[in-house]
Chains A and B, each alone.
Chain A
Amino acid sequence: MTSSLDLQNLPDADVVALAQQGREVAFRELIRRYERPVFSLVYRMCRDRTTSEDLAQETFIKVLNNIDKYDPAFKFSSWLFKIANNLAIDHLRKRRVSTISIDGSPDATTASQIEATSFELASHGESALEALEAKELGGAIERAIASLRPEYRACIMLRHVEDRSYEEIAATLDLPLGTVKTYIHRARHELRKALENAR
């Protein structure tokens, strides 16, 4: 039998192999290793703790319930991040649809149409939860990341927070290598501008 202490020194591929043999300690070890990176990625994409926790949970449930289908030719973490990113992007798309009326109808093409189909929120003040989340994602860099397009956000997070290579990011996000390079370059440029404005 393998204890959780022994598992900590094993590479991902070996822990996954043990999980495929039905060892619960191996499942828990995979969660222990990646709960923070996955949650951080999703949280910085969605910026809502409850939603992010649900999405991160869904990511792990999907991956661990399909552990027997894992292809060892790819990195386990890439597979995990791919599912987390897809879930986060899907969520953002749905949220955009549900909040579109605030910014006007998607079919509106002129300024007057947009104005006619949009409305303003009664209060611009932050709720206690939003204030807490803003504090948690406090610094200027966090606010700058939040202002990026979701595609840029995922690329920049994987590159600089998860320390992934351009090739790994391309494989994780199903994007051509050139697109990943472009996204990261543009994201850095936008972040630099946002940080300059924040000063």
Chain B
Amino acid sequence: MINRHLLPNEIDLLVDGDVGFGVAPLRAHVRQCAECRAKVDEALVVVNALEEIPHIAPSSLFADRVMSQVQVFQPWHVAARDSVSRLVPRSLPARIAAGAIGAVAASVLGLISLWIGSRLDVLTFLSGAAVQRGREVAALVAEGIVGAAFGPAALGVFRAMGTAGLVVSTVALILAATAAVYGVRRLAVASSRRSGGP
């Protein structure tokens, strides 16, 4: 039992509803001492009034205004995971079926890769043939452009120059076309100014 009036911090302990073992003698004292009980009651009036204070709402557009200035950044790994998860079916049977098909497809692709890997000579031959075919197609396209622009005589000259000649002539043609477009634009602008246009 405490035989003196409570200190301010002891009254605060009671007001805050502290439940530590040191609070029991304080409570016992308050039950006996009218002066301390009055102090605790007065403090509780303030605390109760404070705890009844409501929250105040901002305007209804508050969240939208905040979000208009927040940059929502999605890390690449989350975006990738989302893309994959969109492809995964929702129902369990569909997931099982998709899993089985995926496993079969992976097995087949794996076997094909192993077979190709075991025949590197075939792989080298096929890639060489693909590169050669690509080069031929590119040359045909370039010859078509040069032939259409300068005629068959020029095409004969460029053929004599070989692949390097075709590349140089194609680049020169593109540059000339760009310069022509730019020149026509400048002429149009100058003409428009002279006639008092915008």
Contact = CB atoms under 8 A, between A and B. Distances in A.
A166 to B, nearest CB: 8
Contacts of A145: 50, 53
Contact of B63 (A35, A52, A195): A35
Interface residues of A, number: 40
Contacts of B50: 141, 145, 156, 159-161, 191
| Main secondary structure on A side of the interface with B | helix
Interface stretch (A26-34, A77-85, A96-104, A112-120): A26-34
B90 to A, nearest CB: 11
Nearest to B71: A65
Contacts of B63: 28, 31-32, 35
Chain B residues touching A, range: 35 or more
A53 B58 contact: yes
Contact of B47 (A22, A43, A188): A188
Contacts of B9: 181, 185
B55 A161 contact: yes
Interface in A24-67: 24, 27-28, 31-32, 35-37, 39-40, 43, 52-53, 56-57, 60-61, 64-65
Contacts of B131: none
Given A21-B74, A192-B43, A181 B67 contact: no
Interface string B44-87: 01110111111111110011011101111111001100100000
A22 B70 contact: no
Contact of B73 (A22, A141, A191): A22
Q: Which of B51, B54, B58, B73 has the most CB of A within 10 A?
A: B58
A126 interface: no
A136 interface: yes
A35 B57 contact: yes
Nearest to A194: B46
Contacts of B71: 65
Given A160-B47, A185-B8, A36 B56 contact: yes
B35 interface: no
A169 interface: no
B65 A57 contact: yes
B116 to A, nearest CB: 39
Contact of A184 (B12, B53, B56, B75): B12
A36 B62 CA distance: 10
A141 B69 contact: no
19 contacts: A1-B82, A24-B72, A27-B67, A27-B70, A31-B67, A36-B55, A39-B57, A39-B62, A40-B56, A56-B58, A57-B66, A64-B66, A65-B69, A141-B50, A141-B53, A142-B53, A160-B47, A188-B46, A191-B46
Interface of A: 1, 21-24, 27-28, 31-32, 35-37, 39-40, 43, 52-53, 56-57, 60-61, 64-65, 68, 136, 139, 141-142, 145, 156, 159-161, 181, 184-185, 188, 191-192, 195
Given A21-B75, A39-B57, A145-B53, 13 more contacts: A21-B74, A21-B78, A27-B67, A32-B63, A35-B58, A35-B62, A39-B55, A40-B55, A53-B58, A60-B66, A60-B70, A61-B66, A161-B50
